[in-house]
Structure 1
Amino acid sequence: MFCINNLYVFASDSLLLSNPGPFLVNSLTESTGIRNGPNYNGSTIFFPENTSGLLSSIVLVPGFMNNELTIQNWGTFLASHGIITMTIGTNSLTDSEYERRDALLDAIISLKEENTRFTSPLFLKLDTNKIAVGGFSKGGGGAQLAAKQLSEIEAVVALYPWIENPDYDELNHQAPVIIISGQIDLIAPPLLHADIHYDYTPDSTPKLIFEVFGASHDAISGPYAGAQEVGKKVLSWLKTFLVKDTSYCLYLLDNPFVSSKYNTNLSCDNLTSTKNINHQKITSKVFDIMGRKTSIEKNKMMFIEEKGLMKKYFIID
């Protein structure tokens, strides 16, 4: 990090947001020993190979009339970045958001048991204090409800979330939540669903809403939605609040070019300790994300030319 015009410049080249990530991915199913929980139907655990240390994890549930396959692209994507991902099916395709909440909570039990199952490749590899939940549509609503019920949940990923007539109490939890919505979603219109999720989540809870320009109620695209910006933002959220790697936080402040709405109460100053380590004046050419020459602006991602090379940076206060 250095300083230009009294603004801190944070180099972001070290952030790995590619799809797939750096790890090879393997998987487990109930046929290979995973507990068969009564509140969900079928499961797959995607996990990275050749890792060290204890790993964070997330459980994901699909939406109304969707099966487990529709969310499995999240499993391979997140696991390739070092996050164990369990995808589950529901006992009925028409299960309510409350039944999907119960499915997630039941699946957490199954996931934790892998840490103590001697024959599991995940034996003693899970950090059972770092578990997140997420889901699509009614599954996203169920994830919010699960965070309300189980305070140990570290983060929530609510994809185009749906709760029938949500109230403040149902969304009153402290798990940092990222909400993805679609600008032209006619099934869960943002004004009636995602926006309410954001507004009703307490201001004391870190929260972010990313409305994807031109997107509908998209159950299939997963991390590829919004020119892959959805995957990058969700990954950065989980890295920041689940894995506790705060180097990803500043990326969450950058409004992606594919958003029709992007709001957050996130303050990276509360998560990271940065200081100005170089007050010297730097003369460089600065470009925005569209390649247009511009000037330094705070809370923006920009490209700065240094010695003929273009490098990506975040500009912060």
Structure 2
Amino acid sequence: QKSFLSSWFKSYSNATHGTLYAGFSYMGYPTTYKERVAIQTVDLRDVNLFDGPHERQIRFDQELLKTMYPSSWKDVLVRVSVCDDKDHDGLCSDEKENALSVRELSFTGQNIPQSLRLDVWAGRHFTRAGDPDMCELQYSPLVLDLNGDGVKLSAAEQGVLFDLNDDGTPVYTGWIAGQDEAFLIRDLNDNGEVDSGAELFGSATRLKNGSRAENGFEALKELDANHDNRMDGSDPMWNELRVWRDLNRNAEVDWGELSTLDESRVAAIDLDYVDISEVDPFGNETRQRSVFWKRFWMQWNPRKIVDVWFRTLRRD
């Protein structure tokens, strides 16, 4: 029997309710409902972001949909909501504001997944308490803005399935969305693929001491042989680095997507980064930023390189 299972893991400390709805939409996925029924509500008030792993679960059987909507259950939308229940009525549907950086997920009745784990985090309202950098549900790689028009990213719901954390488990993750955004990669096993986040420069990069890098810039610093706080042609590892433009956004290296730094006219990467906090509408957070230099004839022009902590969704 197919069922829907939703869990909130390390939820925001003042998120008070998670609600599962079923109903019909005016225009289809994922627009507003014209008829909506609250199927199940879970209390989240005792869940604390900083007090170890916590989760709450909602289980919903597809058979219940068939009972509620016998002739149209396949087209019914099932939606997951998490909210700050300010009016204390146990519902998320009537909240005017939602401080959580989480996008609702919707599924049609015939496409309800066997199980789903919804990762909820506080986003731009993240409380600076305990460990301020603790956000286990985001993972980072370095992203280059090759043409200087800004870094364009996608939502986890519209992203790709990729083992970003190098833990053997692919997750649905936000991703680069433009044609001129690219990852900086190092093909550790020389197979012509990017197998996991370990081959990107970010939170999954293993340092020489066996620990994980604090961020992508710290990972790249280990390859700065002359310790001038810059990666360029004077560093022996420069020629091993590649630029990956995932043009069709399938998380696989296809023909024409990989190039050397020289082929991409990247002349140098400054490793003297600054800490920032910019959260896009999809919950992807840019935490570190620096510049790289792109060569145009005899001129070097600065471009942005950022460490993006992508929001992810784990689906079992």
Which has the larger share of helix?
1
**More strand by percentage:** 2
